[in-house]
Every structure is written in C-alpha cells, then in structure tokens.
Structure 1
Amino acid sequence: MKGLLAVIASLIQSARRWIYDIHSRSHGEQSMSSNTKQPAKNDSAAPPPAEPTEDHLPIIDNWLRFDRGATFSTLEFPLYTDVSFTGDMQQSGPYIFLNLIAREERPGTVRPAMVLRYAEAREGKRPTFPKKSNTDLYHGGTLVDEVAALAALLLGARCASGGLSRAFGGGLTNDPMGRPIGWEQVPIPGSIRFSRDSAIVPSALGFRKMALLAGLDGLPQLSKKQSVSLIRSANLFNDALWLCEQEPHLSWLMLVSALEGAAVCWQQEKGSPVERLRISKPDFSAAIEEQFGADLLARVAAEFSDSLGVTKKFVDFCLAHLPPAPEPRPREAFQIDWTPEFWQRALRQIYQYRSKALHEGIPFPAPLSEPPMLFEGDSAHSERGTLGLSTNTLGGSWIAKDLPVNMNVFVQFTRSVLLNWLSKLADPAAMAAEVE
C-alpha cells in the first residue's frame, strides 16, 4: 500500500511540474531576477529561439538555449553539503551558485549551504513513449542532479540537490522576490556518521572556494558522448563520497567505475573500433581480416573492441591525465612514490581488487579503508595503504606492496584525473593533440 501511495504521489508531483511548465510557457518569455545575467537583447533583431535538440543533456541543452536568448523563468534549488564556502557567488552561463554562509557545524553535518539559481530556457514537453529502449542520455537524474554531481566533482565535496524552493516569472507570479514553492519534496540527505574515531576521507571536509565552480564554464564545448560520460562519472564520484564513511568497500567500486567510464569514452575517441582492435590485438585482427575479410573484422571490432584490454585502458587513461602530487604532503616516510611507475602498479592492483569484488564477492582490503594517520608536526595525512610491513585483520592478511594507497588519497587522485580530463575536453586544441 505504501508503495502504491508513493507512486501516486510521484505522479501528482510530475503532473504539477508539467502544469507549471505549460502555464509558464503560455505567458511568454519572462525576465530573470536582477541578480541573474540578462540575455543580450537587440531591438532591431531579437535572437532566434534555440532549435529543439535531443542531442545534449538537459544541463547543456538549457545552456545553449540560454545563450541564444531564450528564458522562460528562473528557478531556485537548495544544495546540501557538509562543507563550508568562501566567496559570495559564482556564475556559469545560466547557473548561479549563491553562498548561504551556513554556520560551520561539527564535521559531517549536512545542511543547505548553497542555492542554485538558474534560468530555465527549455520548452515544456509532453512525455513520449518510444517503441525502442534508449539510454544514450540516461544517468538516473534531472538537470539539477547533473549540476549537483558536477559541483561535487569540482569541489571535492559531497553535494545533493533539494526540491524546487522558489520560482521567478514564468507567468506564475509578478513578484520580483519570486514565489516560494513547496510541492517538490525531495528526501534530505542525512548527516555523515563516522564509524571510526576519525574520517576515512578527511579531504572531503573543511572549506571550499566558490570559485572552484568556474570549472563548469567549458561544459558547452563537450559533445553528447563526452558530457554523458562526465556526468555519469561525476555521479559515481559523488555517491562514493556520500558512502565512504559507512560503506567504504562500495565507495572503492564507485571510484574505480568513475574512472573506467571516463576511460571508455576517452578510448573511443582515439580511433574507430577496427583501429582500436588492431592496436589492442594486432595478430588476431590480421588473422580475421586475412581469412574472413574486412567486413567480418569490422563486425568483430564493433562487438568486442571496447571490452578488450580493460585493465590497460583504465591504467592508460589515468596515466594520460596523471595529476601532480597534492600539496601539502606528510613527511617522506608516510608518502607514496608519486610517479607514473608507482601509479601504474597501484592502478593495476586496485583494478584487480575491483574485479575480485565484483566477480568473486571479495571485498576491498579493509586496511585501505582505514582512517589515514595524521602525525604530530605533519600538515597532511599519511598516503600509504599501511605503515607496516604487513597487516592482518578480519580474516585476511596483506603485505605492504599489495596495499598501495589509502582511500583518502585515491579520492583525491580520482577527482584530479577526472578534472584533468574535463580540462582537455573543454580545450579543442588539447583534445586534437591527444588524439594525434
């Protein structure tokens, strides 16, 4: 009965949003609030409306329409996190982030700390029911969820969106202060409970600069495939942060998957399936083509090229976007050897643990998920997976070389690799050079 009521409530909520969209569009274009960037206007010739497109995620589709001058209303959503911010506001295209100057609480306290205010430039559309499944744009969230996931990646902090809280214009109200909205109820994330004496990922706590959100500026440069892959990876990274203190073994899976999803997109842009198969399996490709012809080689490549050499693809992607060592660092005895050679070995080990977790049910080694040590006189936590020669816990034992890095370091590594990739995606010249 409760499940049926939940479905009915969801349908009512969707209907209200749809009615609001239709009502808003029927009253024409409305101006945004005074705090929001106004689209450029030309009295002699107004900008042409953006062409409807299904080729972009909502966050980019809305941005492109906004740049062409379309704006129907302005909407506000609270963003929940457990970090605090410095800086007043940050704007990227139609998206404005406002610092609520939330009171600094104990570590892990989740509360609304930012407001997302954005210009809605998309037309309201009736839902369609296609005859064939399509998940090209699917990532399991809305436009606001896309923004929250990218904010989490850019900030290196947990971030989740609340429901629509205020609307400006759109035919619903002429009040310049906007109209409060309460029909979109979204579950509020709970505060983070640390199951140990200290945080497993202390790097996810503290203060963040609002200016970090300027990393959104390059988003319109991304292709459909790139943007979808980025959002999916950002979602996984954000989920890993939300779970890391209670279910760290699941966070490890999500962090590896976040990198692997981006690696798949990166590899696909390095050539056709046939070219990639020839690079990955040159002898096999030559034998297929010689005995059965180019047509069969193309069919085999289309089917299997992305599933061959998965570990190598994962490692190569990370090394191609290898970040510099973080600053500050602990004393040398507690540092890892931050070199391509070290990371190549570490990434292979981590990917092997991920495979065993998925296919054999063997969790990631527990020592990798222990809170990192912070020693007196150091300004950063230990980076190593273990500080001893070996360790034994919960029925398992591992030697030091099999425990390359702790989760706190790998979270920072994952974020930096993905941000380096995003930086290249937003720079066509850098992307062209990498492909060549």
Structure 2
Amino acid sequence: MPGATRPGRPAPDALWPTQPDRVFEDVVVCRPGELMEIDSTPFDVLIRLENGVVDRVELTGLADIATRTIAAAVLQPTTKSVDAALLLARAVTLAPMRACVEQYRPGPPSLRPEPYAQVEWEWPKLRKAIDKVYGYRSERLHAGVPFPHPLCQEPMRSGSALDERPSGIAATASNAAWVAKDLPMHLHTFGHIVRGSLFNWWQASSGAPLDDAPGS
C-alpha cells in the first residue's frame, strides 16, 4: 500500500517498492492555509438529539498548521459523517467575505421602507445579520437544507420601497417557524450589500474613487 509505514528496524537490504519518496521529511509551513489537518474526537457523554434519540457526539475540527489555530469545527452525532466540504466552507468563506464587506460595504439603498422594516446599517449589527445569512448559504447549501422560507418569499412593501427584512417577531411556513433573529434580512438586501461591496472593491483595485462610501 503506498505510504505504508516502515517497521522500526527494517532489514538493511530490504526493498520498499511502494514507499514514496520524502514521506518522512519534515514539512515547513509558512503561510496560513498552506496545510490543514482534520481530526475528530468523540465525547464520552450521551445527549438527546433533536429527533429524541440518545447518542454520543463527535467533534471534528479543521486545524491550520501555520497559525496553530482551529479554522472550523462541527459537532455531529457519531453516526453521521462530517462533510469535509462543510469544514472547508466554514474555514475559507466567512472571514474573507466579512473583511471585504466591512471595508467596502455600500451605504443603504437610496429608497428605503418604513423604519420598522429597515436593516440597521451600523457595522456591529450589520455584521451579525450578514453572518447569519452567509452561514445559511455556507452550511445549508452543502447540507442540502433549504433556506428559511420567509427569506425566499417576495418581500412586502412599506412606504416607497420593499421591506429590507421581515418585520414580524416570528414567521411560519410549511409547518416550520422562525423567530426574528433567524430572519435578519431579505435576500434582495443581502444582494445589495454583496453587489455593492464587490463593485467598491473593484473600483478601489483599479484606483477609481468609490461611488458609494462604505458605511455611508
């Protein structure tokens, strides 16, 4: 088997035709993200899962060797395998996207709904809303789980513009329910933020002045 480990005291004249070169050499890692390792650790406790079944859980983490930090982690029942793509998505998408939006985000739309249907544009609160929606995109897309139904519906109109977020304290659809914190903005609002951030980033990269200053 390629990459098989040699015994502690191999025969001096033995042949190792399946042994790849440089397997046992040290790897020097200089840049974050250059080398990542995945490992799982079972928890010695029993918990009751959402479906009522009692089972053990396992923590699977993605570690960045260069920075010695945990880039992503998933807690799953031991009977359910962890998709490596989910760990990778958590590790490489949210932080760079958040940094780009923080620096290059556009101002709010020129036409806005009534205050009760507006998204708060101050960065600390806007960051939480973006993290929630992007988390849906990263995790549910890979897991094959639909977005919350209210986010996919056509927004209501209040005043002269479409609502930027669901305005109720909760929403129900298809025998499911969501509270307000799970519905931070409609997808057209998220599209406005992402589109404006990319446009401002492109203008800044080309040396052109920004048409819409971040946070304005």
For the aligned pair, the TM-score class normalised by the smaller chain equals: 0.5 to 0.7
Equivalent residue for 1:381?
162
Task: Kindly tell me the number of residue pairs found equivalent between the two proteins.
Answer: 135
Equivalent residue for 1:393?
173
Aligned AA for 1:298? C
Which of 187, 194, 204 does residue 407 from structure 1 map onto?
Answer: 187
Which of 183, 197, 200 does residue 417 from structure 1 map onto?
Answer: 197
Equivalent residue for 1:369?
152
Q: Which has the higher strand share?
A: 2
Aligned AA for 1:320? Q
Output the CA distance in 1 between the equivalents of 2:150 and 2:209: 42
* 1:206-260: CA deviation from partner (whole Å, max 9, x where unpaired): xxxxxxxxxxxxxxxxxxxxxxxxxxxxxxxxxxxxxxxxxxxxxxxxxxxxxxx
Which of 29, 49, 60 does residue 297 from structure 1 map onto?
Answer: 29
Q: Is the 1:368–1:405 Cα contact (8 Å) retained in structure 2?
A: yes
- Is residue 2:116 matched to residue 1:333? yes
Q: 1:299 to 1:336 in 2, by over 3 A?
A: closer
Using the TM superposition, give the Cα deviation of residue 398 of structure 1 relative to its aligned residue in structure 2, in angstroms: 0.7
Output the CA distance in 1 between the equivalents of 2:187 and 2:147: 11
Output the CA distance in 2 between the equivalents of 1:401 and 1:309: 25
Give 1:120-159 correspondences, 5 Å limit: none
Q: 1:299 to 1:347 in 2, by over 3 A?
A: closer
Equivalent residue for 2:206?
426
Output the CA distance in 2 between the equivalents of 1:372 and 1:333: 14
Unaligned runs of 5+ in 1: 1-291, 431-436
Q: Is the 1:319–1:343 Cα contact (8 Å) retained in structure 2?
A: no
Using the TM superposition, give the Cα deviation of residue 407 of structure 1 relative to its aligned residue in structure 2, in angstroms: 1.6
Using the TM superposition, give the Cα deviation of residue 300 of structure 1 relative to its aligned residue in structure 2, in angstroms: 7.4
- Is residue 2:133 matched to residue 1:350? yes
Aligned AA for 1:339? E
Using the TM superposition, give the Cα deviation of residue 324 of structure 1 relative to its aligned residue in structure 2, in angstroms: 0.8
Output the CA distance in 1 between the equivalents of 2:195 and 2:150: 21
Describe the SS at the equivalent of 2:34: helix
Q: Is the 2:171–2:177 Cα contact (8 Å) retained in structure 1?
A: yes
Give 1:188-337 correspondences, 5 Å limit: 296-298=28-30, 301-304=33-36, 308=91, 310-337=93-120
TM-score, length-normalised on structure 2? Answer: 0.55
Q: 1:309 to 1:389 in 2, by over 3 A?
A: same
Over the matched positions of the two proteins, sequence identity in percent amounts to 28
Using the TM superposition, give the Cα deviation of residue 303 of structure 1 relative to its aligned residue in structure 2, in angstroms: 3.7
Q: 1:422 to 1:411 in 2, by over 3 A?
A: same
Aligned AA for 2:130? L
Using the TM superposition, give the Cα deviation of residue 343 of structure 1 relative to its aligned residue in structure 2, in angstroms: 1.8
Unaligned runs of 5+ in 2: 1-24, 37-63, 65-70, 72-87, 211-216
Q: CA RMSD in A?
A: 2.8
Aligned AA for 2:171? T
TM-score, length-normalised on structure 1? Answer: 0.28
Output the CA distance in 2 between the equivalents of 1:387 and 1:301: 40
Describe the SS at the equivalent of 1:416: helix
Equivalent residue for 1:173?
none
Q: 1:335 to 1:359 in 2, by over 3 A?
A: same
Describe the SS at the equivalent of 2:172: strand
Equivalent residue for 1:40?
none
Q: 1:429 to 1:303 in 2, by over 3 A?
A: farther
